[in-house]
């Protein structure tokens, strides 16, 4: 038996004339769909693994493959060798960050992932320069990293190999083996980099009237608001690419499962 939606669930919004993101004088102002070029956007929900879109670099005998699971998944699997890495990037560096003449434009990044072994894995996800060795040779980027031996996530802004690092307060999240965590950042119009980390930053949110909004009733209750901020850093001018990588730091197979990833920037 299907449980009906609560009576106070909002009805769908109907826009019979369509909607637009263009100003009245814009070329697509009278076309009833949002301008698809308003943002440069690059995202993947991994309903399948596009090997033309993504380049995989395996240090040893590991792999990156599509994975059976709801919503579309890919899984990075290392070899059972300490130091083994699996890296996935686009073939071209096609993103820049708002700075200089583009300061004031917004940009964002979002990923959902989980690790099989929190303690004995390094991971790196975000935008960085194109490299097959991201754990030792990041020159420019804005990305999250978790270093082996700990459970603290860092948000790094790197310019010419010099990093500004924000350690995300562990009171805001908990890293657990084989459990999803969402990581995101936003570059604001003022040029701040705002970090968001939580168990469910996107997806279903309980409606009012469906029960008390607490973690007993809803274990994956979303985190509200940002979990940290880098105030007006100098951002890199380099071209960057979406990057996902895992490094095993013990002689056993480690996995990184990614549900979705994306980056967006105002043109």
At residue 35, the pLDDT reads 93
In a domain, 208, yes or no: no
At residue 212, the pLDDT reads 56
Q: What is the spatial distance between Cα 151 and Cα 166, in angstroms, rounded to a whole number?
A: 14
pTM value > 0.85: yes
In a domain, 8, yes or no: no
The CATH number of residue 179's host domain is 2.60.120.200
In a domain, 216, yes or no: no
Domain count, the chain: 1
**∠ CA 118-121-125, rounded to 5°:** 95
pLDDT tens readout for residues 221-262: 556 679 999 999 999 999 999 999 999 999 999 999 999 999
CA distances from 11 to 5, 7, 19, 54 (A): 11, 10, 18, 39
Domain range enclosing 180: 45-202+224-266
Q: What is the spatial distance between Cα 148 and Cα 114, in angstroms, rounded to a whole number?
A: 15
pLDDT tens readout for residues 173-232: 889 999 999 999 999 999 999 999 988 888 765 555 555 555 555 555 556 679 999 999
Quick one: 21 exposed, middle or buried, by C-beta within 10 A (0-12, 13-18, 19+)? middle
In a domain, 29, yes or no: no
The SS3 call for residue 256 is strand
In a domain, 58, yes or no: yes
In a domain, 28, yes or no: no
């Amino acid at each position: 038996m299907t449980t009906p939606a609560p009576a106070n669930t909002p009805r769908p919004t109907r826009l019979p004339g369509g909607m637009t993101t263009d100003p009245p004088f814009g070329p697509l102002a009278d076309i009833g769909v949002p301008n698809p070029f308003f943002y440069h956007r690059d995202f993947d929900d991994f309903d399948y693994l596009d090997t033309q879109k993504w380049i995989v670099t395996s240090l040893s005998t590991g792999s990156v493959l599509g994975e059976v699971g709801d919503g579309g998944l890919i899984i990075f699997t290392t070899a059972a060798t300490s130091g083994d890495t699996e890296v996935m990037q686009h073939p071209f560096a096609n993103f820049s960050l708002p700075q200089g003449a583009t300061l004031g434009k917004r940009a964002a990044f979002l990923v959902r992932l989980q690790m099989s072994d929190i303690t004995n894995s390094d991971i790196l996800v975000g935008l960085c320069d194109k490299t097959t060795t991201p754990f030792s040779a990041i020159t420019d980027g804005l990305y999250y990293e978790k270093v082996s031996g700990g459970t603290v996530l860092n948000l790094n802004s790197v310019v010419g190999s010099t990093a500004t690092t924000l350690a995300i307060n562990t009171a805001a999240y908990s890293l657990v083996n084989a459990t999803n965590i969402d990581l995101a950042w936003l570059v604001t119009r003022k040029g701040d980099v705002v970090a968001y980390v939580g168990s469910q930053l996107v997806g279903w949110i309980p409606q009012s009237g469906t029960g008390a909004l607490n973690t007993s009733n809803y274990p994956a209750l979303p985190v509200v608001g940002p979990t940290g901020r880098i105030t007006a850093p100098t951002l890199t001018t380099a071209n960057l690419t979406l990057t996902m990588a895992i490094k095993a730091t013990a002689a056993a197979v480690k996995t990184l499962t990614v549900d979705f990833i994306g980056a967006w920037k105002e043109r």
